[in-house]
């Protein structure tokens, strides 16, 4: 049966693991790899390989191309990585900008803490709250993020290197397509399309002249419209939602706006016709991010960190009257809690005595300094040691309806 599965390279997870781990074990790293079933990851001397995205891509590939995909992917991880050039002139033609989900590095940092290691040094700049940018050294078979000390070796600032990387991206950009009068999409298909939101001059040249709004739902996808283009915003929301749900390597459900020569987060106002759609995308996505973080924080607890804290779950509900999607977390009396940032907090004095829901903004306003941001983790959590006093509960006015 395993032979038949291998022959036709079926898309089930077992076949994928057979092929992927088999190719790794046949490589020079074979004797040194460790498969972590609970994390769906492989640890090798060249780094940790999280398999979820690769499995998602594998499932989308025609069956007769899957084994070749496995061999090519494994080759990237097992190849001997060339040292970065010592001279900047040799390196500059291969520098590229790269957008990452902030959680990719945040979760990796937690894994390092669990394993008692120092996380790798990173020269990263924020792109809104939920994304980061780095400069990478890009070759046909490998890609390396440039570490901070390398810029010192090259005697160049990371800002100067970033400008060169953007120029390289522009030179490699074959096409940016305009969909009618409403939406722009990058279509180079080289795994750098999301990064083309930095080519603002090119966007202006093809008619994007207003207040720009963009989304990067995965690394191969960029959508850009303008804030006053209702049709474009609707198209962007619908296409991004499909990409996030159906395509591998989901990146971000958070729209960005171009203000004062930089991209920052854009939150549509609550009276915006598309607010419910963006709210649902954001809430569903953060549910996954917080779930992964909760698993890692609980593993850290087994190592002695956060020994007394309860790691609250980021949960999702739908209001019956309006069908609005909301996130919520439970805060119980007498429980030292790490609260995720949610739309509502459910206050519970005892299991038999739930007090009701309170909007997050109101919790922050009333509790003030009694809430402490937990350092060095993302997504953001707040430590709350002491349950609201009777006076604070009176101010909070919990409601039985969320």
Mean pLDDT of 369-375: 95
Task: Note the pLDDT tens digit of each residue in 218-273.
Answer: 989 999 999 999 999 999 999 999 999 888 778 999 999 999 999 999 999 999 99
Confidence tier at 30 by pLDDT (50, 70, 90): low
Query: pLDDT tens, 138-165?
Result: 987 678 899 999 999 999 999 999 999 9
Q: Indicate the angle between helix axes 230-246 and 275-302, nearest 10 degrees.
A: 30
First to last CA, the chain: 52
pLDDT in tens, 284-324: 999 999 999 999 999 999 999 988 899 999 999 998 888 89
Judging by beta carbons within 10 Å of its beta carbon (0-12, 13-18, 19+), is residue 391 exposed, middle or buried?
exposed
- The structure's pTM equals 0.84
Query: Encoding tokens for residue 109?
Result: 């940092």
Please give the Cα distance from 212 to 204 (Å, whole number): 10
Q: What count of other Cβ atoms lies within 10 Å of the Cβ of residue 346? A: 20
Angle between helices 52-60 and 13-25 (to 10 degrees): 110
Annotated domain spans of the chain: 2-78, 88-171, 175-266, 300-396
């Amino acid at each position: 049966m395993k032979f038949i599965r291998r022959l036709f390279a079926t898309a089930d997870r077992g076949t994928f693991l057979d092929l992927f781990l088999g190719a790794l074990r046949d490589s020079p790293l074979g004797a040194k790899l460790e498969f972590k079933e609970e994390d769906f990851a492989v640890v090798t001397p060249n780094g940790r390989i999280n398999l979820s995205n690769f499995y998602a891509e594998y499932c989308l590939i025609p069956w007769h191309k899957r084994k070749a995909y496995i061999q090519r992917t494994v080759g990237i991880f097992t190849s001997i990585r060339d040292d970065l050039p010592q001279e900047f002139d040799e390196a500059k033609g291969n520098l590229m900008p790269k957008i990452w989900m902030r959680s990719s590095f945040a979760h990796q940092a937690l894994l390092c803490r669990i394993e008692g290691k120092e996380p790798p040094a990173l020269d990263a700049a924020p792109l809104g709250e939920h994304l980061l940018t780095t400069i990478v050294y890009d070759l046909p078979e490998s890609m390396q993020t440039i570490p901070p000390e390398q810029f010192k070796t090259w005697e160049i600032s990371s800002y100067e290197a970033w400008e060169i990387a953007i120029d390289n991206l522009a030179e490699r950009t074959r096409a940016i397509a305009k969909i009618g009068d409403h939406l722009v999409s990058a279509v180079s298909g080289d795994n750098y399309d999301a990064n083309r939101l930095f080519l603002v001059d090119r966007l202006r040249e093809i008619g994007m002249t207003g207040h720009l709004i963009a989304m990067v739902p995965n690394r191969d996808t960029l959508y850009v419209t303008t804030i006053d283009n209702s049709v474009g915003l609707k198209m962007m929301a619908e296409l991004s939602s499909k990409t996030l749900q159906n395509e591998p390597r989901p990146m971000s459900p958070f729209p960005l706006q171009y203000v004062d020569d930089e991209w920052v987060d854009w939150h549509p106002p609550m009276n915006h016709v598309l607010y419910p759609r963006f709210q649902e995308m954001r809430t569903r996505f953060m549910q996954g991010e917080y779930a992964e973080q909760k698993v890692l924080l609980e593993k850290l607890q087994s190592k002695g960190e956060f020994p007394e804290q309860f790691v609250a779950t980021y949960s999702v509900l739908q209001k019956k009257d309006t069908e609005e999607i909301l996130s919520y977390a439970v805060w119980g009396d007498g429980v030292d809690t790490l609260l995720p940032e949610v739309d509502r907090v459910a206050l519970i004095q005892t299991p038999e005595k739930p007090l009701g829901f309170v909007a997050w903004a109101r919790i922050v306003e009333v509790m003030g300094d009694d809430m402490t941001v937990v350092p060095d983790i993302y997504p953001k959590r707040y430590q709350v040691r002491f349950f609201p006093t009777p006076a604070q509960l009176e101010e909070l006015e919990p409601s039985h309806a969320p």
